[in-house]
Structure 1
Amino acid sequence: MNRSNRSWLLERDGTIPLYRQIEQQLRQRISNGEWPVGTRLPSQRKLAEQLGVNRSTITQALDELASWGMVEGNKGGGTRVVNNTWNRLAAATIDWDSYVESGAHQPNLPAIRQINEAEYDSSIIRTGTGEPGPDLLPTEHVRRILADTSDEPFLGYEEPKGSLRLREQIVQYAARQGISCSPESILIVSGALQALQLIAVGLLQRPSCIVAEKPSYIQSVRVFQSAGIGVHAVQMDEHGIQINHLQQQITEHQPGLLYTIPTFHNPTGTILSSERRAELLELSSSLSLPLIEDDVYRELWLDEEPPPPLKSQDRQGNILYVGSLSKMMSPGIRVGWIIAPVPVIDRLADIKMQTDYGSSGLSQYVAARWLADGHQEQHQTWVRQQLRTRRARLLAALEQYFGDIAQWNAPAGGFYIWLSLPTNVNVHRLFTLALREQILIHPGYMYDWQASHHIRLSYSYADMKQLEQSIYRLRQLVKQCMNT
């Protein structure tokens, strides 16, 4: 059931007509200020789909509200709230739309907002979701950690840099990746995205810019842009970021730092080659260019271990290293970390304390126990086995249904396959058509506005039988788009 339906209480077999029940609940939302004057209501089509009624039922409900002067249609389409009382003598109300539109943080792309909403509809098949599926999560391990009364969890605020116990575990965990650090150089954050937010507001001047691969996950979120930081793209190929083009972009734009996902890149799955890693480190050193190394996919190698992290070769403190438990253990636990020079960590810890007064102490307790008890190593071995099977099945489905019309590379790890469709396929239209059939894709333009004929597929979340069926149906939809 779609979570957004749960707040609508409709009696299908009741004596009150459905349109009247809907009108009453719409009126309640308007009267209590949930939908203040000036709010654009969801479209009639969307409300009808959400509530499982005919569009004519929604039309009747809105006509009733319009007769009372509470809503009206506008020339630009849609319906807006114009009054929040039963009469037209209402006092002037705040124009919240003007506040919403003038906020500093940029809104998500419309497609991303649709994805964020659709992902909570259990009837939709999620073909691009970048997280472990429910069957890959270590629910029983976590339950045992929480049930163990021999070691009581800490329920208060943690210190600014996060739980010392957890940071000590991360020191050992990082050492196995070749990274030498101390607890003082680690900040616990609520996922890797918060790490980027803290860096954006805490370390960069305004106006300034950063550089990142093209395409890149960083283009699908607005953390840097909303902080007044521009993002310039650097070309990639099958070996990762192109160093020559990076040098050109640095000369032209003088960026404050480089953001990179060198291992199992999101969305392409690419691994930065060892040769280019060496070149990138030399370039960073010679130009004093800081790097953000987003390494959240490292443990998801499926064929062979990738090259060591860039941070493992960093002797000058040029690299801000971002790690997380979201991709292997649990996205819901919201535990990630930054490893960086101590002055940087002190600065970001101060900002984090101003922002949320520290990440969840309970989550940090679970994470520390998870690492200390050796669950991470055991679980990642099992997850890799599962992902190898899923990858093979998705690649087989692509070969069967897309072998003659698309291109892709088999990833050596991570979650993603970057599918290149024929150039005459409008992915905007494909996204809409697929969603109507309960198939959710991640269009390439989320990660690069020029990637208009790409989609990101994932083998980590959806039930494999459903995913294979979706690939079959997507071929039909792609063909439909090609013929129009």
Structure 2
Amino acid sequence: MFTTDWKPNKSSSVPLHRQITDFIKEKITNGEWTIGYKLPPQRTLAKELGVNRSTVVTAYDELIAEGLIEGKSGSGTRVVNNTWNLLVTMPPPDWTSYVKVGTHKPNLPTIQEINQAEFIPDIIRLGTGELSPNLIPSMAMKKIFHQLANREISYGYEEPKGLLPLREQIANYLKTIGIYASPSSILIVSGALQALQLISVGLLHKGSTVLTEKPSYLHSLNVFQSAGMRLMGIPMDKEGIQAKLVKQYKKQQKAALLYTIPSFHNPTGTLMTMDRRKQLLDTCQQEQLPLIEDDVYRELWFDEHLPKPIKSFDKNGLVLYLGSLSKSLSPGLRIGWIVGPEPVVEHLADIKMQTDYGSSSLSQWAAVEWFSSGFYSKHLNEVREQLKIRRDFTLDTLNKYFSDLAVWQKPTGGFYIWLRLLPLISMRKLFEIALSEGILLNPGNVYDHHAEQYLRISYSFAPLPEIHDGLKRLSMIVKMLAK
């Protein structure tokens, strides 16, 4: 999906095709579009720039005539030259070939489209998994940074495992949910996603298989696949991942570890029961299968406290526990943590130092203040109340417009409703038509290739009027495609 922040000036005396030609020339001569770069199709560029396709055709024809680009049937239009004196100088590197052979795989195409479309002005984001700007406590955040400005704090690099006062605060917080961990067994990371990256390169060898729920957020990422791993999904039921199948899958796939999101699972919203948590841990212990417990949604419960984390029952150091402030407080702080055996934490800390030399010290000091001041606990009460209102509003809206089009379960916390559409329609067409009408969706097939009739609906981000308007118009699109 091609996007650009440049637009031609339609009130200028310079013809539109000439403006586009100059824009592309500048991209090429500045080295932003290198030799081998594939230009967007004519229709795509015309739509993005708000001009007729014939205007783009004229611009491309001029660039072809000047020898800067070349169009071939079946392979599109590519940059083939960047300066007039190319023949008398050494050619520049073909960066396109470097990109193709890089070890880290690109995002799934749909995920790339979603990431880019999220910044389109006025788009209704029905699947975005983050707090609404209205739910992020900006005033309290300003107050905390103001307090930090009047304190003597360090602004340099912190020790490999992260700021000690923060690890002490997290150790105190973990006790409230049944996890007893010393600061030395805690590693501060830049969000739970970095934790997964460190685990993928630090603890697993190429060719390893990672077991996870089916569907799973992990399938929408390429973090493990890029490190040479395979993902294998285990079916879920209303209590969570089916622990009774773990032994079978572990044996068949020779799995190296299991990844789970037990609390308000992404994307299904499922809450794993206490019995299932214990059963899963028992099975993993019997199979000597390490377990990653991703618990970033834990504090977003609505009606009653959750079962204790799986980690709270772990007496053998089998579980690596991931937590974060990104879902409950602010994604911009980029603060998360890994809890595990000290040798593992020290190894991952060493890799993190090689990667970024530690998470932001300013963010870490801010997180210390959030925990120590009691602001975090107060904020959680407020955000739970607001998310519950949003959930109920979204469920009411779904009942109004989707009662005969879909089925779903009522989540008891977190961000998501896992919506299964009843009419058999093309999800790709639904995604494209909705996007053209200003509605951004998260199709289920990015979390599981077989989840073709599902959507991840989020009630955490979009304003309530946009949720109502977006779901109402989405129901009309579904009905149109179902005819």
Query: Is the TM-score greater than 0.5?
Result: yes
Kindly tell me the number of residue pairs found equivalent between the two proteins: 481
1:237-252 → structure 2 map (5 Å cutoff): 237-252=237-252
Per-residue deviation at 1:428?
A: 1.3
Name the structure 1 match of 2:162: 162
Of stretches 337-346 and 79-88 in structure 1, the one that deviates more from structure 2 is: 79-88
SS in 2 for 1:363: helix
Name the structure 1 match of 2:124: 125
Matched, 1:42 2:40: yes
Of stretches 425-434 and 188-197 in structure 1, the one that deviates more from structure 2 is: 425-434
Per-residue deviation at 1:88?
A: 7.2
Name the structure 1 match of 2:362: 362
SS in 2 for 1:129: coil
The CA distance in 2 between the partners of 1:55 and 1:151, in whole Å, is 59
Name the structure 2 match of 1:107: 106
Q: Is the 8 A contact 1:69 1:88 kept in 2?
A: no
One-letter code aligned to 2:441: I
Name the structure 2 match of 1:416: 416
Q: Is the 8 A contact 1:213 1:259 kept in 2?
A: yes
Deviations 1:214-269 (A, max 9, x none): 00000000111111111111000111111222221012112111000011000000
The CA distance in 2 between the partners of 1:44 and 1:337, in whole Å, is 46
SS in 2 for 1:417: strand
The CA distance in 2 between the partners of 1:35 and 1:384, in whole Å, is 46
SS in 2 for 1:256: strand
Name the structure 2 match of 1:325: 325
Name the structure 2 match of 1:434: 434
Deviations 1:189-216 (A, max 9, x none): 0110000010011011222111000000
Name the structure 2 match of 1:94: 93
Name the structure 2 match of 1:309: 309
Superposition TM-score, scaled by structure 1 size: 0.96
Name the structure 2 match of 1:22: 20
Per-residue deviation at 1:90?
A: 6.3
RMSD: 1.7
Identity %, equivalent residues: 51
Deviations 1:1-42 (A, max 9, x none): xx9644x26433222122211211110111121101110012
SS in 2 for 1:89: helix
One-letter code aligned to 1:54: N
Matched, 1:233 2:216: no
Q: 1:160 to 1:30 in 2, by over 3 A?
A: same
SS in 2 for 1:246: helix
Name the structure 2 match of 1:342: 342
Q: Is the 8 A contact 1:445 1:452 kept in 2?
A: yes
Deviations 1:324-370 (A, max 9, x none): 00001111111100000000000000000001111111111111111
Per-residue deviation at 1:87?
A: 6.8
Q: Is the 8 A contact 2:405 2:422 kept in 1?
A: yes
Superposition TM-score, scaled by structure 2 size: 0.96
Name the structure 2 match of 1:74: 72
SS in 2 for 1:300: coil
Q: Is the 8 A contact 2:234 2:245 kept in 1?
A: yes
1:392-471 → structure 2 map (5 Å cutoff): 392-422=392-422, 424-471=424-471
The CA distance in 2 between the partners of 1:37 and 1:152, in whole Å, is 51
Of stretches 115-124 and 344-353 in structure 1, the one that deviates more from structure 2 is: 115-124
Q: Is the 8 A contact 1:158 1:358 kept in 2?
A: yes
Q: 1:476 to 1:89 in 2, by over 3 A?
A: same
Of stretches 71-80 and 315-324 in structure 1, the one that deviates more from structure 2 is: 71-80
Name the structure 2 match of 1:143: 142
Deviations 1:276-304 (A, max 9, x none): 11111111222221100000000000121
Name the structure 1 match of 2:115: 116
1:221-300 → structure 2 map (5 Å cutoff): 221-300=221-300
The CA distance in 2 between the partners of 1:56 and 1:375, in whole Å, is 58
SS in 1 for 2:292: strand
1:171-190 → structure 2 map (5 Å cutoff): 171-190=171-190
Matched, 1:53 2:41: no
Q: Is the 8 A contact 1:69 1:87 kept in 2?
A: no
The CA distance in 2 between the partners of 1:19 and 1:152, in whole Å, is 58
SS in 2 for 1:302: coil
The CA distance in 2 between the partners of 1:48 and 1:9, in whole Å, is 11
SS in 1 for 2:477: helix
Of stretches 53-62 and 437-446 in structure 1, the one that deviates more from structure 2 is: 53-62
Of stretches 242-251 and 449-458 in structure 1, the one that deviates more from structure 2 is: 242-251
Of stretches 47-56 and 363-372 in structure 1, the one that deviates more from structure 2 is: 47-56
Per-residue deviation at 1:412?
A: 0.4
One-letter code aligned to 1:373: S
SS in 2 for 1:420: strand
Q: 1:422 to 1:150 in 2, by over 3 A?
A: same
Q: 1:344 to 1:138 in 2, by over 3 A?
A: same
One-letter code aligned to 2:193: L
Per-residue deviation at 1:152?
A: 3.7
Q: 1:46 to 1:138 in 2, by over 3 A?
A: farther
The CA distance in 1 between the partners of 2:371 and 2:74, in whole Å, is 55
Matched, 1:12 2:10: yes
Of stretches 336-345 and 85-94 in structure 1, the one that deviates more from structure 2 is: 85-94
Unaligned runs of 5+ in 2: none
The CA distance in 1 between the partners of 2:375 and 2:53, in whole Å, is 51
Q: 1:87 to 1:311 in 2, by over 3 A?
A: same
